[in-house]
Structure 1
Amino acid sequence: MGKALDNVYKHQSLAYKYFLYLISVALIVFFFPKGGKFKYEFQKGKPWQYENLYAPIDFSIKKSQEEIAQEQLSIRNSKTDYYTFDGSIVTTVKNDVQKGLEQWFATNTFTARQQRDALKIGMDVIDNIYSLGVFENHPGSNSIIVVRNNEAVPVAPSDFLDLESAKRRVSAELSHSAIENRIGLESVIQTSLRINLFYDEALTESALEQELSRISYTRGEVSQGRLIIAKGEVVEAENFKILNSLKEEYESELWRGNNYYYIILGYTILVALVLIMLFLFLKRYRNEIFKNNNKVTFIFFNILLMVLATTLMVKNNESYVYGVPLCILPLVLKNFFDARLGLFVHVLTVLILGFVVPNSFEYIFLQTIAGIVTILTASELYKRANLFISVGQITLIYIIGYFAFHAIHEGNLENIEWILFGVFVLNGLLTLFAQPLIYMFEKLFGLISDVSLLELSDTNSKLLKELSDKAPGTFHHSLQVANLAEAAANEIGANAMLVRVGALYHDVGKMEKPTFFTENQVTNVNPHDDLPPRESAKIIIDHVIQGIEIARRNNLPDRIIDFIRTHHGTTLVYYFYKKQQEMEAEVDENDFRYPGPIPFSKETAILMMSDAVEAASKSLKNPTFLVIDEFVEKIVKGQMQANQFLNANITLKEIEMVKKVLKQKLTNIYHLRVEYPE
């Protein structure tokens, strides 16, 4: 049992990768839209590349969204407005007219007959006007139905009467009557008129919804066995609609029944193959990343994030799939790792998304080109202008690519969907979010970017100010080493910003006991003179351990702490080792050897060489070109013979280039000039 647990512990890193792999495959397949995949790829305006296609099933030809929208618009424009009739208002109006006439008769001399005639004429006019009714307002539709006593009565446009029209109708009808003092009767009736036809919004909308529900979403049927398109035939408008209808029917039918499990199996195998390619790439070409579970998790997290965002967009509105800023992926990965890994992961992610997006060839082409442009143009993201320039170029690539594909599909530049240009611009604006995203990833995964390196390189930072105050000689030494290491890194294509920051902090441990290091001794008093060599060596060696502790207390990133840990590797504190040998015959080398580890990258190897050369150069009394050349060769050769660069991915050619730069820089430091003959 104990051996089994021991094996599990030893292989826990590999077990975690297996777990991460399985979870990622499961999540990606879960994110995918629930539907089958049509086995033919086709595009409007391009020849049909397969054998003659016959209808495998009976299916309906579906109308396009534009056709359905046009029918809906037509129905809305010709909708019928419904008004309800209020009969009680007619009675109220008649009562008001009768009362008004009584008051009018009282102020004028009318015979009984004249009063009866006036009242009859007034009532007849009201009956005529309210035979249909007076509308609340002039209807906006030419189709009007009045609901009266549960009966729907159509009204012609010529019969529309609002309040003002009704008053004019009163004047027109009374103009033909023989009654005396007609104006008084007209005034009484007009004053008494009321609206009795009210717009019924609920009934109107209900009727409209019924009309809209009757719209047919299909136009014709295709019988099984009918030839849909022949090999080599160009996919034109009509065939394109039929093929799209078949595709939708096929994919919806494919997902039903037992087919569901086979589709899931197919998706799982394809996604698993893609992610296996990623693991193989990391194992073969980026083994240091493969061994780091935190970095592997970070890469998979970014892939899952992009797949989730894209599949959600496809499910909700696939027309705006280009609004997902997929180029954030290579931007982020290049910033934390390198361009090759960023592009490789981007291409694999695009291949995964090609399973679910519409027009997969077009999508894969555009996104791959955009990813390449991102890798080629995005550099030094800590400079804000560079990110804006890169995003502008990415957006331009999308727009140019869309123009090209539209021209191929349509054969002209008409019917361009201008809204897609807004989508591409939105994509660019969202890509700018890479900067705050990088900052969040740094905090979440403990990684470090160029932006953070730039902040750490500020000599006014708290820790470097403290180093300058407590150990000014060490601070000056660190600055010199930083300049040497940065120049060497630029020469061989290493991360110059990283190695400079590592050099600035590599000796912070000397702050604990600064006077025990020669660069900080301002008098002739050397505290090592009063100590045995073994104890002096321990103090010197401990500056590495103390530096790591100080760095952790100040929350320096692990990549910077690596420089503190490795800048002496496993070399000997040679001076005190030899001194101890003079005092005793048998000396344990381990008491005088730095704990390591040895450098494991180009950057840490460069720092080891630069640090040793700069520190030892202080002992040069009369430096000349020849002396400096032999001096640098001797120090680096000693490090190589001590196997300090075995774990660093630095070549012999690159080491020679580093030595060349170190010699040139030391020559400049000591202001050597060519000796001219007298």
Structure 2
Amino acid sequence: MEVLKKEIKIPTIVLFVLAIILIAYFAPRETKISYDETEGKPWRYGLVTAPFDFPIYKPDAQLEHERDSIMRQYIGYYSQDKTRAERSITIFTNDAKAAGVASEYISYVQKKMNEIYSVGLISADDYEKIGNSNLKQLYLIGNDNIADLRAINSFYTSKLAYEKLINDAPQDELHIQTLQSLNLNNYLFDNIIQDAELSKKAKDELLMKVPFAEGNVLAGQKIIDRGEIVTPKTVHILNSLQKITEQKEGSGTRRNWMVAGDIILITAFIMAFMIYLQFFRSREYHNRRNVLFMLLMIVLFCVLTSLFIQVGINVYVIPFAIATIMVRTFIDSRTAMITHLVTSLICSLMVPFPQEFLMLQIPIGFVCIFSLRDLSERSQLIKASFFILLAYASLYIGVTLALKGDIKQIDPLMFLYFAINFMFVMFAYLLVYMCEKAFGFISGVSMIELSNINKPLLQKLSEVAPGTFQHSMQVANLAAAAASRIGANAQLVRTGALYHDIGKMTNPAFFTENQIPGMNPHDSLSYKESARIIISHVSEGIKIAKKYNLPQQIIDFIATHHGTGKVKYFYNSYRNAHPDEDVNEADFSYPGPNPFSKETAILLMADTIEAASRSLSEYTEETISNLVEKLINSQLADGLLKNAPITFLDIETAKTIFKEKLMTIYHSRITYPELSKEAKKHDEDAHSSSFT
């Protein structure tokens, strides 16, 4: 696991692509269930449990019979088309006049056609179909859009209408022959037309009254076990499971398209996470170790979800909250919530109940974030676990009632799953420790623990080098104040400041803050030897830090708090003593590296300023301001801050904070006035009179 602490050479975009490939590879692919079951025979396969909730479908013959029965109540919807009647009469009139038909015959036909069309003329097929139905009725939609129930025998067909035209005429041979010669059948158009949309809706409403299933099987419920007798009901259940599984899986091209759709969605969610990091957390995006950590959290829980579904274990025992807790602990709250959302959305593609799953998981992410908003103690992780358990239980009850509307649908077994989930989340504090060791992270909790001055190493520093300890405390206050103002990690820089000079414990007397007045061991050493001892406190500090297993982030402060700067006192003294000699600057320079983060840059500035401020002969606003400006400008000129992602505005802000803090530390104290002679004499008289 130590390899995870080292710099990762893989390009960031490749890490995201690998995450997509891994999730897509492990995504569950339903397989068809095929059993050779025979009623009345023992079951020769293993235990079969329901992998998800599914309905027990009725046999096709039974379903068809029930649908045929209810369709006997079906009544179609029709409307009367007035334009057809008008067009029919108009066509007849024009043709009759063109043929020279006498007007009396034309008037007769027009009158009868109006009577027929006002009653309604329906097609022979519809007339026969409705006449053979159970109810022999239809709904006729009137002008007011109100449907009236009409018996089918109240309408005309083209045959009945033709007979009416012939039979109602005077029954002499001339009239009959004349009317028959007009080919009246050609002018009888149906004007009672079926309303397809309303009729279909009425038919669908009837069919919906016939349930396609006769019960449900719940996820995890036993269907049959080896040796049990196969009953007709068992066959129905197994057939239903096979049918729903095939529907979920699809076949051939459809299944391939479904897989392609899943891959597209997985890619979209992961790319959205990448874009979020690029635009809003660019520092994290360019830190491949952090990206790897976050993607591992997403991939791990997506793969776990897939495996649990394929094995048949309820996914609610998976502690999804742990991923949120880990990212919140080592990165930040907003990124933790985005990570949780991406994980939940991808997992919802795998679970058989995506709506319920998302309605439970998304609020759980917010509960995690809110319960850990001020993470300063490991015990808070335990409290968060209880909040998560309570949230799961209450959300499940709410979702079940909202979606199913029946309190009896609440499954008590779900609360057992939530309890198992709770137990897993309880161990998050152990995972925090493991991730710190594996990835070289340092959490806020660890920093608070390390900054406790009762820690053995800090206690030893206060005893062996009390002046250095006080100096470190002052630097910690200065640096933390500046870090807070410019948006850096104040807790990290405070912790780093407390340990930055632990290397001075090796030779404490060689550092001015620990020296007794009049005793300076450097007096008997050469400038080069004194510089070597001073410089060595950096390497010695790194050794001590590693011995005490301090995190790498703290060691970085030790290594960079002087950067590659010089021990200028001894360097300048040597130059003055040997003006004609070419000086090897490496003998008087710290090994570095230079600060490479905002936090390490702040410590470098704060350390130099605090140490130099002790040498001022007087503490005024002007002297303190000049000191701060001179020292930090010198560090800039020497290039000690060039590798740190800190702006000139940040540096100016830090200068202001340093000046304010130093003025507060070294402000002039009030001189208490002495008692005058008269006041002293009064006190003496009052004292003596009290004994008389």
TM-score interval, smaller chain: 0.5 to 0.7
CA contact (8 A) 1:62 1:219 kept: no
**CA separation of 1:580 and 1:30: change in aligned 2, threshold 3 A:** same
Alignment counterpart, residue 622 of structure 1, candidates 601, 618, 624: 618
Q: Could you tell me whether the CA contact under 8 Å between 1:599 and 1:647 is conserved in 2? A: yes
Displacement of 1:72: 8.8
- Which residue is 2:428 aligned to? 434
Shift in Å, 1:500:
2.0
Task: Write the mapping of 1:528-543 to structure 2, written as runs, cut at 5 A.
Answer: 528-543=522-537
Q: Shift in Å at residue 349 of structure 1?
A: 1.6
Write the distance in 2 (CA, Å) between the matches of 1:432 and 1:546.
39
1:217 corresponds to: 236
In 2, Cα distance between equivalents of 1:543 and 1:220: 78
- CA shift, 1:288, in A, is 5.0
Select the residue among 519, 525, 550 that pairs with 2:519.
525
Say which of 304, 307, 311 aligns to 2:299: 304
2:25 matched residue in structure 1: 30
Give per-residue Cα distances to partners, 1:91-118, cap 9 Å, x unaligned: xxxxxxxxxxxxxxxxxxxxxxxxxxxx
Q: Does 2:598 align with 1:602?
A: yes
What CA distance in whole angstroms lies between the structure 1 residues aligned with 2:30 and 2:257? 12
Secondary structure of the 2:453 match is: coil
Contact 1:625-1:672 at 8 Å conserved across structures: no
Check conservation: 2:305, 2:350, Cα contact below 8 A.
no
- Match for 2:317: what amino acid? G
1:338 aligns with: 332
Structure 1 residues 61 and 33, CA, compared in 2 at 3 Å: closer, same or farther?
farther
Cross-structure match for 1:251: 248
Q: CA–CA distance in 2 between the matches of 1:674 and 1:422?
A: 68
Q: Displacement, 1:403?
A: 4.5
Q: Distance in 1 between matches of 2:365 and 2:288?
A: 25
Q: CA RMSD in A?
A: 4.3
Report the Cα offset of residue 290 of structure 1.
4.7
Instruction: Find the aligned partners of 1:69 and 1:574 in 2 and give their Cα distance.
Output: 75
2:65 paired with 1:65: no
Aligned residue in 1 for 2:630: 634
| Equivalent position to 1:347, from 341, 350, 353 | 341
Per-residue deviation, 1:417: 3.3
The Cα shift of 1:260 comes to 6.3
Aligned to 2:129: none
Residues 502, 560 of structure 1: 8 Å contact kept: yes
Give 3-state SS (helix, strand or coil) of 2:615's partner: coil
Q: CA deviation at 1:634?
A: 3.3
Could you tell me whether the CA contact under 8 Å between 1:378 and 1:390 is conserved in 2? yes
Aligned to 2:310: 315
CA distance in 2, matches of 1:445, 1:69: 38
Cα distance change of structure 1 residues 70 and 525 upon mapping to structure 2, 3 Å threshold: closer
Query: Secondary structure of 2:409's partner?
Result: coil
Question: Retained in 2: the 8 A contact 1:61–1:218?
Answer: no
Does structure 1 conserve the Cα–Cα contact (< 8 Å) formed by 2:476 and 2:493? yes
Q: 1:68 to 1:437 in 2, by over 3 A?
A: closer
Per-residue CA deviation, residues 14-54 of structure 1 (Å, 9 max, x unaligned), is 447677556544432333222299xxxxx99xxxxxxx9x9
Counterpart amino acid of residue 216 in structure 2: Q
Q: Which residue of 1 aligns with 2:476?
A: 482
State the AA in 2 paired with 1:302: M
Q: Contact 1:61 / 1:220 at 8 angstroms: preserved in 2?
A: no
Cα offset, 1:564, TM superposition: 0.7
1:600 partner letter: F
| Residues 134-185 of structure 1 deviation map (CA, whole Å, 9 limit, x = unaligned) | xxxxxxxxxxxxxxxxxxxxxxxxxxxxxxxxxxxxxxxxxxxxxxxxxxxx
CA distance in 1: counterparts of 2:242 and 2:397, whole angstroms: 26
Distance 2:490 2:550 in 1: 18
Equivalent runs, 1:393-404 vs 2, <5 Å: 393-404=387-398
**Residue 378 of structure 1: how far off its partner (Å):** 0.8
Deviation at 1:267, TM superposition (A): 4.1
Within 2, Cα distance between the matches of 1:71 and 1:515? 78
Instruction: Classify 1:36/1:634 alpha carbon distance in 2 versus 1 (closer, same or farther; 3 Å).
Output: farther
Q: Partner amino acid for 1:65?
A: N
1:329 corresponds in structure 2 to 323
CA–CA separation in structure 1 for the residues paired with 2:669 and 2:464: 36
**Most deviating of 483-492 and 557-566:** 483-492
> How is 1:133-152 mapped onto 2 (pairs within 5 angstroms)?
none
Asked whether the equivalents of residues 36 and 263 of structure 1 are also in contact (C-alpha less than 8 Å), the reply is no
Give the whole-Å Cα distance in 2 for the aligned partners of 1:613 and 1:251.
Answer: 69
Match of 1:77 in 2: none
Q: Is 2:534 the counterpart of 1:383?
A: no
Q: CA deviation at 1:551?
A: 1.8
After TM superposition, list the pairs within 5 Å mapping 1:236-247 onto structure 2.
Answer: none
Q: Contact conserved, 1:72 with 1:212, CA < 8 A, in 2? A: no
TM-score, normalising length from structure 1?
Answer: 0.62
Q: Distance in 1 between matches of 2:268 and 2:427?
A: 31
In the alignment, residue 295 of structure 2 is paired with which amino acid? F
Structure 2: how far apart are the matches of 1:346 and 1:462? 38
Partner Cα separation in structure 2 for residue 308 and residue 676 of structure 1:
74
Amino acid across the alignment from 1:463:
L
Cα displacement (A) at 1:449: 2.0
Partner of 1:648: 644
Q: Give, in whole Å, the separation in 2 of the partners of 1:432 and 1:220.
A: 42
- Structure 1 residue 356 corresponds to structure 2 residue 350: yes
Residue identity in the other structure for 1:672: S
- The residue matched to 2:229 in structure 1 has which SS? helix
Alignment-derived partner of residue 266 in structure 2: 271
Aligned equivalents of 2:223 and 2:294: distance in 1?
Answer: 47
3-state secondary structure, aligned to 1:65: strand
For 1:379 and 1:611, how far apart are their aligned partners in 2?
A: 31
Please give the alpha-carbon distance, in whole angstroms, between the structure 2 residues aligned to 1:494 and 1:259. Answer: 52
Instruction: Write out per-residue CA displacement over residues 290-338 of structure 1, whole angstroms, 9 at most, x where no aligned residue.
Output: 55554443333322321233223323446x4233221111211121122
Q: What letter matches 1:631 in structure 2?
A: L
User: Once the 2 structures are TM-superposed, how far is the Cα of residue 395 of structure 1 from its aligned partner?
Assistant: 4.0
Report the AA paired with residue 658 of structure 2.
L
Give the structure 2 partner of residue 670 of structure 1: 666
Cα separation, 2, equivalents of 1:519 and 1:71 = 77
**1:38-84 deviation digits (Å, cap 9, x = unpaired):** xxxxx99xxxxxxx9x9xxxxx95654349999999xxxxxxxxxxx
The amino acid that maps onto 1:304 is V
Deviations 1:228-277 (A, max 9, x none): xxxxxxxxxxxxxxxx99753322443xx576666555544543444444
**1:634–1:361: structure 2 CA closer, same or farther, 3 Å change rule?**
farther
**SS in structure 1 of the partner of residue 661 of structure 2:** helix
Distance, in Å, in 2 between the alignment partners of 1:404 and 1:645 is: 56
Any unmatched runs of 5+ in structure 1? 1-11, 38-42, 45-51, 55-59, 74-204, 222-243
CA–CA distance in structure 2, aligned partners of residues 527 and 617 of structure 1: 23
1:351 CA drift (Å): 2.3
Select between 366-375 and 259-268 the one with higher mean Cα deviation.
Answer: 259-268
Q: Secondary structure at the match of 1:210?
A: coil
1:593 has 2:589 as partner: yes
- Note closer, same or farther for the CA distance 1:457–1:404 as it changes in structure 2 (3 Å cut): same
Distance in 1, matches of 2:645 and 2:430, equals: 32
Mapped contact 2:31–2:245 kept (Cα < 8 A)? no
Map 1:167-178 to 2 at 5 A: none
> Any idea what the Cα deviations from partners look like across 1:421-461, whole Å, max 9, x if unmatched?
45445434432221111112223333222333233223343
Q: Which amino acid aligns with 2:472?
A: S
Match among 550, 553, 564 for residue 558 of structure 2 = 564
How many angstroms apart in 1 are the aligned matches of 2:460 and 2:288? 35
Residue 237 of structure 1 corresponds to none
Shift in Å, 1:651: 4.3
How far 1:528 sits from its partner (Å)?
3.2
| Residue 473 of structure 1, aligned match among 446, 463, 467 | 467
The residue aligned with 1:126 is none
Distance in 2 (CA, whole Å) between partners of 1:310 and 1:69 is: 16
Deviation at 1:350?
Answer: 1.8
Q: Does 1:495 align with 2:479?
A: no
Match runs of 1:543-582 below 5 Å: 543-582=537-576
Letter in 2 for 1:340: R
2:354 and 2:477 map into 1 onto residues whose CA distance is 50
Q: Alpha-carbon deviation of 1:397?
A: 4.1
